Amino acid sequence: MKLPTKTPFEQLQDLVGRSVTDIDTPALVVDLDAMKRNITRMAEFARKHGVRWRPHAKMHKSAELARLQVAAGAVGVCVQKTAEAEAMAAGGVNDIYISNEVIAPHKLARVAALANLLADRGGQLAIAVDSVEGIRRLSQAMEESGKLRAVVDVFVEIDVGQGRCGVPPGPHALALAHEIRRHTGLHFAGLQAYHGKAQHLRGARERRDAISMVVEDAVYTRKLIEAEGIPVGLITGAGTGSMVCEAASGVFGELQAGSFLFMDADYAANERDAAQPQFEHALFVKTQVISAQAGHAVCDAGHKSHAIDSGLPRVLALDAETELEYFNGGDEHGILRPAGTSTRVPEIGRMLWLIPGHCDPTVNLHESMVGVTGGLLSGTVDRVIRVDARGALS
């Protein structure tokens, strides 16, 4: 007797061309048709508003999906981590923005190497900063990287309401712009003004109000910097929740929204802004019932299969008689109870589809995503998509 010798990825590859019903559980499944419609809508939206579109790859972590979006008009990708940037570069993406602070000298040496690699390919690396210390360490890493051919685009991050990274709008940002311009390997490229919390304000009006303050902060800071003769090339930010506001501002030149690609239960719970494209759910966890008891069933997907930081998954209703609500069953289980007017507990072996609460950390739990066409009920497995930057934490 032998253990299986195929890797999980190779096992999934064997599914290509077969029915979605053959996908074993739990599995992360992408509805490729819905995903492509989301891409088309996003590309149209950016074109209509005359803004650049740089979707965040921290969400899907896949070089293949990054390339697909670049082919549709995206200028490149955002990432949060050096290791994510390396994974995207290894997968053929040439324009990468690390929209986050990097401080460790060991990682900054990798950032510098990556800047030179992308420059060699005719691409570009960019990064965010929010401290003099960070700028000096980055500059030192660029100097020590040898060639000094590449110049890194550096964005000053301002805190526009999230209370996380970023200096306050105004003089602090001006001081950092001056500091960046003292270093030959660095180019002051503009401002990052991202308000993460605003993405999840439920009301469309609330989000508009929050982003109007973001825009004020960005304009104020830009004026202060430009008053000293320093051009502010670009203001970048926005997520799927608030993007219509930044796009309409005339101030933001670039949208970082990434979750639109898959949409999750949390974003779908937002009141939709009339100006927002109608994005569809495209990411699902396929699961099956492993235990059926009086009043509840148990499926084989718990929070090792999907992240619950933004709430529990919703169960996709496949028919009216088995409307189900998902309750927390721990790491490996989900507890399902009849919901709405339904009273039926699904039987053992029944396949179900979960819409994750939050797509980013859900994707990060999986090595691959199974891409299907033709729908979840009777579709076909088209390809297996690698999560290249899974666990790329450093």
Dihedral angle computed from the Cα positions of residues 114, 73, 92 and 305, in that order, rounded to the nearest 10 degrees: 100
End-to-end CA distance of the chain: give it in Å, rounded.
40
Tell me if 376 contacts its own copies by CB under 8 A.
no
Nearer CB in complex with its own copies: 44/347 = 347
Tokens of 55: 């979707």
Q: Which of residues 161-200 bind its own copies (CB under 8 A)?
A: 163-168, 196
Cβ 177 to its own copies shortest distance, Å? 17
Among 15, 65, 86, 235, binds its own copies (CB under 8 A): 86
Among 36, 41, 107, 178, binds its own copies (CB under 8 A): 107
* Residue 253 C-alpha from the chain's centroid: 19
Distance CA 30, CA 17 (A): 15
Burial of 295 (0-12, 13-18, 19+ CB in 10 A): exposed
Nearer CB in complex with its own copies: 196/374 = 196
Among 151, 290, 317, 318, binds its own copies (CB under 8 A): 290
Tell me if 361 contacts its own copies by CB under 8 A.
yes
Distance CA 43, CA 93 (A): 18
**196 in helix, strand or coil?**
coil
Among 68, 113, 235, 265, binds its own copies (CB under 8 A): 113
Cα-flanking dihedrals φ and ψ of residue 147, to 5°? -60, -35
380-390: b or e for each residue (b if 16 or more CB lie within 10 Å)?
Answer: ebbbbbbbbbb
Tell me if 329 contacts its own copies by CB under 8 A.
yes
Nearer CB in complex with its own copies: 164/205 = 164
Q: Which of residues 19-48 bind its own copies (CB under 8 A)?
A: 24-27
Tell me if 13 contacts its own copies by CB under 8 A.
no
Q: Which of residues 222-281 bind its own copies (CB under 8 A)?
A: none
Segment interacting with its own copies, rule: CB under 8 A, options 67-75, 185-193, 229-237, 287-295: 287-295
